[in-house]
Structure 1
Amino acid sequence: MKKILVMAALAICSFANAQKGTILVAGSIGYSSETRDYTNSETKSNEFYFSPKVGYQFNDNWTVGGEFTAASSKNDQGVNEYKTNDFKLGAFVRYSVPLNQTFSVFADLGAGIQNRTEKDYVGPNYTKYKADGMYVGITPALFINMKKGFGLNFSIGGLGYDTYSYDNNGPDVSNFYFNFGQTFNIGISKNF
């Protein structure tokens, strides 16, 4: 079945690569939901994210642009509920290497600022936490060129570092991640 899907994808591909002087519009969207049934209680969690990018390809291999991410998650544990909203705003630089007229590999290096709001509900009352920070990360990926500049982007993780500094004498949090093979993302892109 996988071979048939790959052959079908190759059959509908056109033979045009992104070229110097084009505008790149890319992004991904995701949603996950999980329910766990424990002996005495049930836990539900939902996550949603939206992550668009816009860039200018000033060279056949180099693209520079801006990126934005909005994410929201909710964990419900009976009477307790925990909500998180994340926002990221930054810039990226992409280096692409065409393998042939259909496939390219690329790496995005992104950096910027981020903001997080957390609400911890216990019954009708809640405690609110706010944090600001920065992020930097590199994500290698595979690009499959489809018809008329449309493409699919596939990545399996990356390498990064981010920080959060919580308000009101809250903790300073830093996170280093190396998650190759632990995540799988599919995105779309269009060159104009």
Structure 2
Amino acid sequence: MKKLLVAVVLLVTTMMSAQKGSILLGGNVGFSSEKIGDDKYENFEFSPKVGYQFTDKWTLGVEGSILNYKESGSKTKEAYRVGAFTRYSMPLSELFSFYADLGVGYQERSIDKTKGVYAGLTPGLFINMKKGFGLNFNIGGIGYDNLSGKGTPREQRFGFNFGESITFGISKNFGL
């Protein structure tokens, strides 16, 4: 069971290869569980994306994220993100394409009523299997976010995690 959860944590991402005039539907689903001594931590995240591919290389769209996390003995807490993204895709061959997603937006955490902004750049590789079906892979990215609110210290994060995590997904291209 834990191996299955690890596979889910690695991500089930649905993205589509760029094709002018089509709609990109995608997102991430993730779950993690950690136990340290008697304390247990659980996270569940759902992050959908919808975009319009206005050229063979460029896509613009909206993205969001809902994160539920819980520590043992406490109530479930939520965090939200909503923003915009742009994707640049570059075919390397009929089989492979490189892409990079740049996303920016607003975020809020319910437990301490903090609000802020985020930005992230994530490169990836698309493998076209056949008839619009494909696989997506990335090995991390660069990210920045900040949060602040009344009575809480300001939080700022900047980091990159290339090679620290691997995500993969299955995709299908739907033309208009």
Deviations 1:64-83 (A, max 9, x none): 1110111111121xxx5374
Q: Which residue of 1 aligns with 2:66?
A: 70
Rounded to whole Å, the distance in 2 between the matches of 1:102 and 1:27 is: 22
Aligned residues: 158
Report the TM-score when normalising by structure 1. 0.76
Tell me if 1:43 matches 2:26.
no
Rounded to whole Å, the distance in 1 between the matches of 2:84 and 2:158 is: 19
Q: Which residue of 2 aligns with 1:23?
A: 23
Kept in 1, the 8 Å contact 2:18–2:89? The answer is no
The aligned runs of 1:128-143 (5 Å cut-off) are 129-143=112-126
Rounded to whole Å, the distance in 1 between the matches of 2:41 and 2:134 is: 31
Identical columns (%): 53
For residue 151 of structure 1, report the CA deviation from its aligned partner. 2.6
Tell me if 1:107 matches 2:107.
no
The aligned runs of 1:50-129 (5 Å cut-off) are 50-76=46-72, 80-81=73-74, 83-118=76-111, 129=112
Moved over 4 A (4+): none
Kept in 2, the 8 Å contact 1:104–1:143? The answer is yes
**Unaligned stretches of 5+ in structure 1?**
1-16, 119-128
Deviations 1:75-110 (A, max 9, x none): 21xxx5374311110010000111111211100000
Larger radius of gyration, structure 1 or 2?
Answer: 1
Rounded to whole Å, the distance in 2 between the matches of 1:177 and 1:82 is: 29
SS in 2 for 1:146: strand
Kept in 2, the 8 Å contact 1:26–1:188? The answer is no
Q: Which residue of 1 aligns with 2:172?
A: 190
Deviations 1:96-139 (A, max 9, x none): 11111121110000000011122xxxxxxxxxx11110001100
Rounded to whole Å, the distance in 2 between the matches of 1:86 and 1:186 is: 24
Rounded to whole Å, the distance in 2 between the matches of 1:115 and 1:151 is: 33
Q: Which residue of 1 aligns with 2:140?
A: 157
Let me know the Cα RMSD of the aligned residues: 1.7
Of 137, 144, 147, the residue aligned with 2:127 is: 144
